Every structure is written in C-alpha cells, then in structure tokens.
Structure 1
Amino acid sequence: MELFRLDNKVAVITGGGSGIGQAIAKSFGAQGAQVHILELNEEGGKGTAAEIIADGGKAQVHACNVADQAAVIAVMNNIIQSAGKLDILVNCAGIAHVGKLDSTAEQDFDRVYQVNVKGTYNCMYAVVGQMKKQGGGVILNIASIASSVGIPDRFAYSMSKGAVLTMTLSVAKDYLGDNIRCNCVSPARVHTPFVDGFIAKNYPGKEAEMFEKLSKTQPIGRMAKPAEVGNLALYLCSDEAGFITGCDYPIDGGFIRLNN
C-alpha cells in the first residue's frame, strides 16, 4: 500500500500561489487530493493549478482575500456545495513585517494581524461546521519558529504566529469529540521567492553574501526547501497521522533546540 495517499480528499490551501503554499498544493495534488487554492494573487494560483493538472492531478483556483470573512465563507460554501465535503484545510496565506515594537506602526501591526491571525481564524471558522457535520476533518496551520523563540526585528510577525500556534491548540482541544484534528508546523527560514525579493530589496549588491549569512542561521547550515515543508504537511494531513492532534512541528534545521 502506498503511504500518504489523499485520494477522494477535498483539500483547501490558502496562499497556494507561491512558496510553501505552492509546495503543499503540489504535494497534495500528486497524492490524489482534489486541490482548491485560495489566493489573493489569482494568477499565481493559476500557475500552481496548471502544474498540478499537467502532472495528472486535480486543482481549482479561487480568488479570495482571507482577511475578508464574508468572502471566505462564500468561497468555502461554494467549494463544499460543488464537492460535497471538505476534508482538509491548510492555512498558509501570510505576510511578513520587519520591525521592533517601537518601529512598528499601527497600520503595519493591523495589516499583519488581518492576514495572519484573522485570515487563519476566518478560514477555520468557515469550515469547522462542515467538518463537524461530515464526521471529521484535518486543519493544518503554518506557524513559525517565531511562535516559540525570540526573533530580532519581527515584533508584529511574531505576534501573529504566536496567535496561530495558540489558536491551533484551542481548536484541537475543542473539537476532539468531532474527529477534527488540528496541528501546526513551524518553519525556520525557507528558500522562497519572498526571501530572494527581501534580500534584493534590502541588500542590493550583497545578495549572495546575505543569502549565505541567512542560511547559516540554521544550525544545519542551509534554508529549508519548500517541498520539505510540503512533505511534512502531507504527512500531518494524511490518514497515517490520525493519532496526531494539538501539536506544533518545528521544521527548522535545529534552530529552536540547537542554536545556542
């Protein structure tokens, strides 16, 4: 028997147009899931869906701002109506912000909160009723090592990812009796287009040097590949992980435990 198959599973992945979300969507599609990508950047989502379909999988894209609860509920209801169920939700949509407390403006704090915290809440809120009705489901949230340790110059981002972690624990506890599993993963630095863009914007002319420096902050000596996070997400959302709920899984190259 092939492990970690998601045949006949309906999976929603937010932020599936690039980076970690894209890797998760492609991993799920390759394992037989019917993938629904929620993306603010609809074109990016279409690119991911096209790759999944080209590899023989099933994927659809839904333009959606996860910070807008009414929009999220409408999209989720449409998916449930057309598919008849919703088995898996992966909350991956998120934004970053660089700054300490005294250099974080109110509008920046609110923007990070709206996407990372409220967006995660909105999506869980929109699907939990269906999961209860159908007798179970799986929710996976993307947190961060910033949920567990202090990261310099990441005040608002750390706030948001700490909230993601604790929301995960609360949902896991409250819906044990409904057969709904809820976990989160906490990546360290992952080599995504966002990282390349951040380095190019903030360190022009020193891209290679800064990439090496940021890579070495992980004790293992490199950044994670998006596909490595995708593979962990696949396991946690598969039936083989049926005994796992209320857990946070660091995927961090040893950052939390070995960086001392």
Structure 2
Amino acid sequence: MTTLDRKVAVVYGGGGTVGGAIARAFAREGAQVHVAGRTRAPLDRVVRSITGGGGHAEAALVDAADEDAVRRHLDQVTERTGRLDILVNAVGIPHVQGPPLAELDLDQFMAPIDGYLRTLFVTTKAAAPHLAKQGSGVVLTLSTPGARLTGRGFLGNGVSSAAVEAFSRILAGELGSEGVRVVCLRPHAIPESVGASHVTEAFAEMAGRAGATTQEWLAGAAQGTLLGRLPTPEDVAEYAAFAASDRARTMTGAIANLGSGVIVD
C-alpha cells in the first residue's frame, strides 16, 4: 500500500512548478488529486502527466482569492468523493524583489502580503469544516527563507513569508483538537521555476541589481547553502508527500526547513 492510498488531496496553484510536482508525488503515492488554478493549460498538463501514469487527477479553474469560488469547489470535491484529506496552498503571487525600502512603494510592499495571506486564509477557512468533520486531515503551506533572513530587496516577500509561517503555527493550535495537522514547507529558490512562474521577474531583478544574470545569481545562492545546491520541485514534493502521510502523524505546527542549509534552525 502506498503512503497516501485512498486520500483525497486538493492543490491550489496545482499548475505551477512546485504545486504540479506535489500533485504528481501525491498521485504516485495513491492519492486522488484535484488541482486548481486560474489558467487551464498548466493544470491540464499536470493532469495528463498523472493520468498517463495510471494515477487519478482532475482539474478545475478556481481563483484561490475568491471565497465563494473556493467554497463551491471544495463542496463539489467532497460531495463527489465523500471526503477531504489534504489541502495544499501552492499559489504564486506576482511581486517585486530587488528595490530597497527607499525605492519600494506601498502597493509593491503589500502585494505579496495581501496576496499570499488572502489565498491562504480563503482556502483554509473553506477546507477546515470538511477536515474537522472527519476528525483528521493535513494542511500544507509554503514559505521562503525570507521569513528568517535579513538584507535588501525582499521586504514584502520576507514579511509575507514570516506571516505565512505565523499563520501556520497558530492554525495548528486552532485545528489540532479537530485532528487536523498543519505543516509549512520552506524551500529556497528553485531554479526550475525560472521561465515558468511568477519568480522569473523577481529573480531577474535581484540578479540585475547584483550585476549578474539570473543563472549566475542562482549559482551564487546555491553556493551560499551548506549543501552547495538549491532544492528541486521534486525535493519539495517528496517531503510534502511524507508530511501529508500518516508517517508524519505526530508532526504539526512545524516549519520544514528545505532550504539546503541557507538558514540553520
């Protein structure tokens, strides 16, 4: 038996680099996966990659910031499957990185804070009653090392990541009595996301201000880790599959440090 056999998982942002990798890992481990996002083509690619390998996956167009749309989607999933076991928020929010405080305007600062926290609140609030009803379940969130780092050029991103981690810890305390676990995954920069997600421009801006190309900047970021490498989408997905499984049944309120040692807890 695989580790997520007969589990029902919903991945918001499931068409993205990380969300798609998580969806594929869940399906490989036996889960019935529902990927959701605002763009059809990448969702369909993830579904084809799963069903082509014999797994079960479905896609839905859903804006994770729209409370009514998310509520309807989760109601439909649970009406058809009878349950909800895993919620993943892998939604990416376009934002700027690079400008220091003196050059940053209020809207640029607030964009990732409002965007990430809004989708996280909306998806979790809609899923919580379904998870609590069955007395079990897992909520997985995504953060970045910016939550713990200091420096220039990532003020909004760092504050939003710290807020995601605080949200996850507090939520674990609130939902624990219902049997629901909450784990936040904190990977470092993922090179495979370049050209395929919202981080492309953010990384390019940071690299440009350092007088480097994006690839040179990422190589420097890798050298700044203890392992001398950056995580891959599959690295994050493998840990997500473990954290969502009963093998991690005593883990909650945790921040999983998947940054190859860029920070040491």
Structure 1: gaps (5+ residues): none
Alignment of 1:73-222 (within 5 A): 73-95=71-93, 96-98=95-97, 99-194=99-194, 197-198=200-201, 203=208, 206-222=213-229
Find the residue that maps to 2:250 and give its secondary structure.
coil
**Aligned partners of 1:46 and 1:61 also within 8 Å:** yes
- Alpha-carbon spacing, 1:208–1:184, altered in 2? closer, same or farther (3 Å): closer
- Alpha-carbon spacing, 1:41–1:177, altered in 2? closer, same or farther (3 Å): same
- Alpha-carbon spacing, 1:151–1:62, altered in 2? closer, same or farther (3 Å): farther
Tell me, in whole angstroms, the C-alpha distance in 2 between the residues paired with 1:189 and 1:80: 34
- Alpha-carbon spacing, 1:74–1:200, altered in 2? closer, same or farther (3 Å): same
Moved more, 119-128 or 142-151: 142-151
Tell me the amino acid that sits aligned with residue 35 of structure 2: I
After TM superposition, the runs of 4+ consecutive aligned structure 1 residues lying more than 6 A away are none
| Aligned residues: CA RMSD | 2.1
The correspondence for 2:32, drawn from 26, 31, 34, is: 34
Tell me, in whole angstroms, the C-alpha distance in 2 between the residues paired with 1:141 and 1:79: 20
Tell me the equivalent position of 2:68.
Answer: 70
- Alpha-carbon spacing, 1:224–1:195, altered in 2? closer, same or farther (3 Å): farther
**Aligned partners of 2:111 and 2:156 also within 8 Å:** no
Tell me the amino acid that sits aligned with residue 143 of structure 2: A
Using the size of structure 1 for normalisation, the TM-score is: 0.91
Tell me the amino acid that sits aligned with residue 244 of structure 1: M
Using the size of structure 2 for normalisation, the TM-score is: 0.89
Tell me, in whole angstroms, the C-alpha distance in 2 between the residues paired with 1:249 and 1:200: 27
- Displacement, 1:128? 0.3
Tell me the amino acid that sits aligned with residue 187 of structure 1: P
- Alpha-carbon spacing, 1:255–1:214, altered in 2? closer, same or farther (3 Å): closer
CA deviation profile, 1:49-77 (whole Å, cap 9, x unmatched): 11011111011111112122222112111
Alignment of 1:44-55 (within 5 A): 44-55=42-53
Tell me the amino acid that sits aligned with residue 15 of structure 1: G
**Aligned partners of 1:66 and 1:115 also within 8 Å:** no
Structure 2: gaps (5+ residues): none
- Displacement, 1:13? 0.9
Tell me, in whole angstroms, the C-alpha distance in 2 between the residues paired with 1:41 and 1:192: 19
CA deviation profile, 1:76-117 (whole Å, cap 9, x unmatched): 111111111110001111224313333332333343233211
Moved more, 51-60 or 10-19: 10-19
The correspondence for 1:223, drawn from 223, 230, 249, is: 230
Matched residue pairs, number?
256
- Alpha-carbon spacing, 1:205–1:112, altered in 2? closer, same or farther (3 Å): closer
- Displacement, 1:152? 2.9
Tell me, in whole angstroms, the C-alpha distance in 2 between the residues paired with 1:164 and 1:119: 11
